Amino acid sequence: MPSFQTAIKNNTVASYRDAFATAIKIARSEAINTQSFVTICPSNNQAGCSGNWANGWIVFADADGSGARDIANERLIDTNSGNTNILITNGLARTVITFAATGLNVGNAETISFCDSQSGSGIDGRSVILTVTGSLTYSADALLAGCT
């Protein structure tokens, strides 16, 4: 039976994965509703794209589809200030995820994995799998690289 601390860490990883998935859903929905590009990117300061995913992210209206936020002209839709106790990895090391007006993911399919930052903690990893069509699936896997 896992300890209470292990249960808390498992829930933290799952909650962070769910928050990221929600941001992806918000970005896709906003792209369809506004018929324009919407981007999610890592952000250290919750204003522009910088840093890595564990430091947080922003979702913004990306008028020109560049994947970079023009602070003066592009509306901020959602932010997350991050959690440095979570390790986030993705296979293609994408620094932005952009959705077109159709709701399609502009880039390749991607698996984004979430782990406890302490190697060997025994906390199960969680993943979000983003398809080219913009749909998401979820997984939990104790054997995710870096999560054991």
User: Tell me, what's the pLDDT at 120?
Assistant: 61
Of residues 142 and 68, more confidence is placed in 68
Strands of 1-148 (E only): list them. Answer: 38-42, 57-61, 76-80, 86-90, 97-99, 110-116, 125-130, 136-141
Average pLDDT of the residues of the chain: 84
Domain 4-141 architecture: 3-Layer(bab) Sandwich (3.55)
The DSSP symbol for 142 reads T
Is residue 91 scored above 80 in pLDDT? no
User: Residue with structure tokens 């302490």?
Assistant: 118
Tokens standing for 113?
């994995």
User: Tell me, what's the pLDDT at 119?
Assistant: 58
Local confidence band at 89 (pLDDT 50, 70, 90 cut-offs):
confident
Tokens standing for 144?
């995710």
Give dist(CA 111, CA 131) in Å, integer. 9
SS3 content of the chain, % helix, strand, coil (to 5): 25, 30, 50
Is residue 121 scored above 70 in pLDDT? no
CA angle 1, 113, 109 (to 5 degrees): 140
Terminal CA-CA length for the chain: 17
Residues 57-69: pLDDT tens digits? 899 999 888 888 8
Residues 8-22: pLDDT tens digits? 887 888 888 899 999
**Domain limits, the chain:** 4-141
Is residue 24 scored above 90 in pLDDT? yes
**Of 7-16, 35-44, 128-137, which gets the smallest average pLDDT?**
7-16
Q: Using a pLDDT cut of 70, give the percent of the chain over it.
A: 88
